[in-house]
Amino acid sequence: MVTKKWSRRKKRGAVKTDWELGLSVMHPRAAGIDVGQGEHYVAVPPHLDRDQEPVRRFETFTADLHRLVGWLKACGIETVAMQSTGVYWIPLYELLAQERVQVFLVNARETKNLPGRKTDVQECQWLLKLHVYGLLKNSFRPTEEICVLRALWRQRQQHIADASTCIQRMQKALIQMNVQLANIISDITGKTGMAILKAILEGERDPEKLAGFRDPNIKASRQQIAHSLEGNWRKEHLFVLGQEVALLETYQDKIQECDQAIQEHLQSLPVKGDLRQLPPAQKRATGNVPRHFDLRDELYAISGVDLTRIDGINVLVAQTLIAEVGLDMNRWPAEAHFASWLGLCPDNRISGGKVLKRGTRKVVCRAATALRQAASTLLRSKTYLGAQYRRLRTKLGAPKAITAMAHKLARLVYRMLKFGEEYVDRGMQYYEQRLRQQRILALFRTANELGLEVIQPTGGH
């Protein structure tokens, strides 16, 4: 006897697919390339090579890459499959794209070779065989304009990470000198902190004089700051402090240069949104946002929507999403495909009718990481999404709740970018009222199944 619960599970798992037992040739004029640091191995179908050398080796110098592309064009190759090995594939990819050759950039985990000894020749032939029969999926790569934006934004994020490391080393040097300035002021790289540090590096040691650089807006008193500036002033620690301060200023200058390059590139993109229709910002810009231009305005101009209206998504998260996934959502047929590509969907492993493993796929994606960070900020949000996150966090725990809300945010971003919809928050009270109604309906269904009757209280109690 099959229970009702098991029949539902089997029904959900049974998906009708149209497929054939035999493999058909999908890409007759294809090639497989095994990408390496110093050499590339290229395989083409034997009947397309006039010299009967279907596998050739090319070095990675520019002239050799041109010879590689010329040989593929002479063989009539229309599509190429190669693995995304490090960054070694980028020069060859760009050269093939310029010559109008369709490139399938595939994940190395999806092209595992046959058991036995592995060689570069066998690898490129295996890639060719899989690609000819259409067994490889093309990885996502945004448009050229978005690739430029992504490179600039990643460089800026790297400078921010390096600057954070410098700040940590500055704090370490101060602690080694027993200068407890970081315990008194929240940010030693602010106006007060940097003025004090530069005075120390110039030779000032009097705590009272150093405390005189205190900004009036800082909460700590002058006496507290002076008390924290009594140290041992060892020479080697002062040397380290001086170098880290110089490096921090260098990184700050480089971040400003990245901001200028990002602004110029954003302004060169096609305009979709009218800034006159952009409502005032609902969130205060915090963190490492660009200072000399309004990033929110530039993102609205190129996308036509304001992603920062979604609770949890600030302008930095919005910029990261656009830089990583672009503006064209037609690459994914539906929002579920987009969430799956981000690695925010369940990936249950089932064998023998049993679930062997639950959880999401391990996907290295900066966009998914940004969405998870945005979801984690909803804990104290007095909004619909905030109420939903707190309920999931109580029910599932923090890690699963963050993934679930990141999935929700991904769907909202997809709808806004593809259909131009505006996000409107319905409020925390609406969510709680809707949840209460669902619980009441569930209670009535349970009572009916048990043959019981639920009597609602009268008089508004």
Residue 279 lies in a domain: yes
Tell me: do 259 and 279 sit in the same domain: no
Asked whether residue 140 is assigned to any structural domain, the reply reads: no
- Do 282 and 169 share a structural domain? no
Name residue, tokens 């349970």. 446
346 phi, psi to nearest 5 deg: -60, 145
Question: Does 22 reside within a domain?
Answer: no
Whether residues 57 and 188 share a domain: the answer is no
Q: Which residues of the chain have pLDDT under 70?
A: 1-22, 113-114, 117, 458-461
| 356 within 8 A of 399, measured Cβ to Cβ | no
């092209």: which residue's tokens? 111
pLDDT value of residue 17: 56
Indicate whether 399 and 280 sit together in one domain. Answer: yes
Q: How many domains does the chain have?
A: 4
CB atoms inside a 10 Å sphere around CB 129: 17
Tell me what pLDDT residue 313 has: 93
For residues 309 and 415, membership in a common domain is answered with yes
Structural domain of 460: 436-461
> CB under 8 Å to 63, separation ≥6 — which residues?
none
Stated pTM of the model: 0.85
Fill in the amino acid letter for 136: L
DSSP output for 52-100: S--EEEEESSHHHHHHHHHHHHHTT--EEEEE--TTTHHHHHHHHHHTT
SS3 (DSSP) at 17:
coil
Q: b/e for 27-40, b at 16 or more Cβ within 10 A? A: beebbbbbbbeeeb
* The pLDDT value given to residue 105: 92
d(Cα 372, Cα 367) in Å, to the nearest integer? 9
Q: Are residues 113 and 185 in the same domain?
A: no
Question: Is position 95 within any domain?
Answer: yes
Spatial separation of the C-alpha atoms in residues 247 and 150, rounded to whole Å = 25
- How far apart are the C-alpha atoms of 220 and 372, rounded to whole Å? 35
Q: Is 177 helix (H, G, I), strand (E, B) or coil?
A: coil
Which runs of consecutive H residues, i.e. helices, occur in 363-449? Answer: 366-376, 384-396, 398-419, 428-449
Whether residues 399 and 278 share a domain: the answer is yes
